[in-house]
Homo-oligomer: A and B are copies of this chain.
């Protein structure tokens, strides 16, 4: 590897943005040096000048989007219904997140970064739910981290299945989730079992 482009370069920022758009519009497999260069009006080698490898570019995109998402999320969680916020934000992010997971499957550097964000977001959600219940003086019917994980799981499965055109049971589950959210807002209970 020879020299590398400056972090502050305009072209560099354009490449990150182009990669981000390509991921959103056509999925991660659409991100190639050729297509990226096309979008910024240069030759494909420019990508390697600024990022060395495509993986490093992905890491840059993930960091940028991760920070943006966290800012939005932390702000939204301060509103009064944290579980509803978790559900809504998960629905917004799941499709995009899945693309990064697909990349992470065969890229150690992206995997490291994504794992970091995943743990962080789950902590943020768990803590928000815990504080909410504490404020209301309700003991958690289920560990908050479980509630957060299940919400994220369902949202992710929806994103995956919608992308593939599977929709059996989705409408019923959406109704159910709405029930869970209402119940949580009324009583603080989320996925309580008959035993607990």
Chain A residues in the interface with B (C-beta under 8 A): 27, 29, 101-102, 104-106, 111, 114-115, 118-119, 122-123, 126, 142-143, 145-146, 148-150, 152-154, 156-158, 160-161, 163-166, 168-170, 172-173, 176, 179-180, 182-183, 186-187, 189, 191-196
Contacts and interface: CB of A to CB of B under 8 A. Distances in A.
Given A27-B105, A191-B191, 8 more contacts: A29-B105, A29-B106, A101-B160, A118-B164, A145-B168, A150-B153, A183-B195, A192-B193
A114 to B, nearest CB: 6
A146 B173 contact: yes
Contacts of A142: 176
A190 to B, nearest CB: 8
A153 B104 CA distance: 20
A193 B180 contact: yes
Contacts of A170: 149
Copies of the polypeptide in the assembly? 2
Contacts of A191: 176, 180, 191
10 contacts: A29-B105, A101-B164, A115-B164, A126-B169, A143-B176, A145-B168, A145-B169, A156-B160, A183-B195, A186-B195
Contact of A179 (B150, B169, B172, B196): B196
Nearest to A29: B106
Nearest to A30: B106
Nearest to A167: B119
